[in-house]
Amino acid sequence: MRSTTGWQADGATGTLRRAALERRDLRPDDIAVRIEYCGVCHTDLHALHAHGSDANGALVPGHEFTGVVTEVGGAVADFSPGDPVAVGNIVDSCGTCPMCEAGQENFCREFPTLTYGGTDRQDGSTTLGGYAREYVVNHRFAYRLPAGLDAAATAPLLCAGVTVWEPLRALGVGPGSTVAVAGLGGLGHLAVKMAAGLGATTSVISRTPDKAEEARDLGAQGFVVSTDPKQMEAVRDRFDVIVDTISAPHDLAPYLRVTAMDGTLSRLGDLGPVTVDTMDLLIGRKKLSSAGSGGRPSTAAMLRFCAEHGITADIELLPSSQVNTALERLERNDVRYRFVLDMSDLD
């Protein structure tokens, strides 16, 4: 085994503490990555809360990171030591099911191996995430970091970015589309940048008017206050695609009402059971969908698109020793718009 250092959950307190970690020795198709930057995702919070009640097994969060290749296995031809790379929230999949064959490893029928809290397909070990100095990953699930993109601000593209990119692309968003992004956090701010970059007329739907200027700065032309019935009525049946990134449970009806005829509401910030009045779908033939993560081809395409358009996350960079502060502040949405941890203090 290889040894590294990272931030591991302390089941009793629900916080993270610095700990020595083990990584597997490289398999022929593995690369070792020295992690430079890792984003802090809402999923990390959920995982920590869940871990608190079930303190079995080690938990090291972190599934959107960038770094540098330090070593490659004997069968790896596409990476060399020194290459800058990015890794997201999937590190393996069966590779042979119809979803994998379609390049949608995120929907693998055997469930993809998650970057942390997953079960390694070969040795059955629990995967430990990117809040660490080193990660060992199958080269198929590492992506070359495009030149010109800031490595720290690119890290969140690997989870938040691809999660909003896939529905935008799958729903055909481009010039002529009318898109609304509900919720302006880690996912939402990237959805605005990408939708605007794709040429769509883009609006933000927010509970209060105070983010209107930020929304404009990110590329939104419109701004709708969801708590103002007049403003919502004014955009009734307006949006071809709504990317709903609101992380708390909420009523879908007001958002379906402002979805255009034959349009789609993609709810991806809050997963789980929802109540829908079928009449809200019937009137206007509206569709309800969801999205999460992305397959290898679309992750690579997303990175190319972001490089072409100069899109990265707006981040607050903290030394990794402040990971607990970052998580506390994320819990109360006190971040514009994504925390990224600098791992260099782990040396």
Number of residues counted as binding Zn ion (CB under 5 A)? 8
Euclidean distance between CA atoms 56 and 50, whole angstroms = 11
The interface with Zn ion within residues 254-283 (CB under 5 A) comprises: none
Determine the interface stretch with Zn ion among 42-50, 77-85, 182-190, 319-327 (rule: CB under 5 A). Answer: 42-50
251 CB contacts (<8 Å, ≥6 apart)? Answer: none
Least distance from Zn ion to the Cβ atom of residue 5, Å? 22
Select 41 or 136, whichever has its Cβ closest to Zn ion. 41
State the residue for tokens 């929802």.
274
Contact status, residue 229 vs residue 170, Cβ threshold 8 Å: no
Q: Which two structure tokens, joined as six digits, stand for 38?
A: 């890792």
Per-residue binder mask for Zn ion (CB under 5 A), 92-111, x = binder: -xx--x--x-------x---
Determine the interface stretch with Zn ion among 30-38, 89-97, 142-150, 227-235 (rule: CB under 5 A). Answer: 89-97
Least distance from Zn ion to the Cβ atom of residue 46, Å? 9
Q: Is 61 helix (H, G, I), strand (E, B) or coil?
A: coil
Least distance from Zn ion to the Cβ atom of residue 86, Å? 13
Identify which of 300, 293, 294, 342 has the alpha carbon closest to the alpha carbon of residue 321: 342
Q: Could you say which DSSP state residue 132 is in?
A: B
Determine the interface stretch with Zn ion among 90-98, 179-187, 216-224, 248-256 (rule: CB under 5 A). Answer: 90-98
User: Backbone dihedral region of 232: left (phi > 0), alpha (psi from -120 to 50 degrees) or beta?
Assistant: alpha
Give CA torsion, residues 274, 278, 282, 287, to 10 deg.
20
Contact status, residue 311 vs residue 156, Cβ threshold 8 Å: no
Determine the interface stretch with Zn ion among 38-46, 261-269, 305-313, 325-333 (rule: CB under 5 A). Answer: 38-46
**If you compute the radius of gyration of the chain from its CA atoms, what whole number of angstroms results?**
20
Euclidean distance between CA atoms 336 and 333, whole angstroms = 8
Least distance from Zn ion to the Cβ atom of residue 8, Å? 18
Is 115 a binder of Zn ion (CB under 5 A)?
A: no
Select 140 or 287, whichever has its Cβ closest to Zn ion. 140
The interface with Zn ion within residues 147-176 (CB under 5 A) comprises: 159
Select 108 or 198, whichever has its Cβ closest to Zn ion. 108
Least distance from Zn ion to the Cβ atom of residue 41, Å? 3
Binding footprint of Zn ion on the chain (CB under 5 A)? 41, 43, 93-94, 97, 100, 108, 159
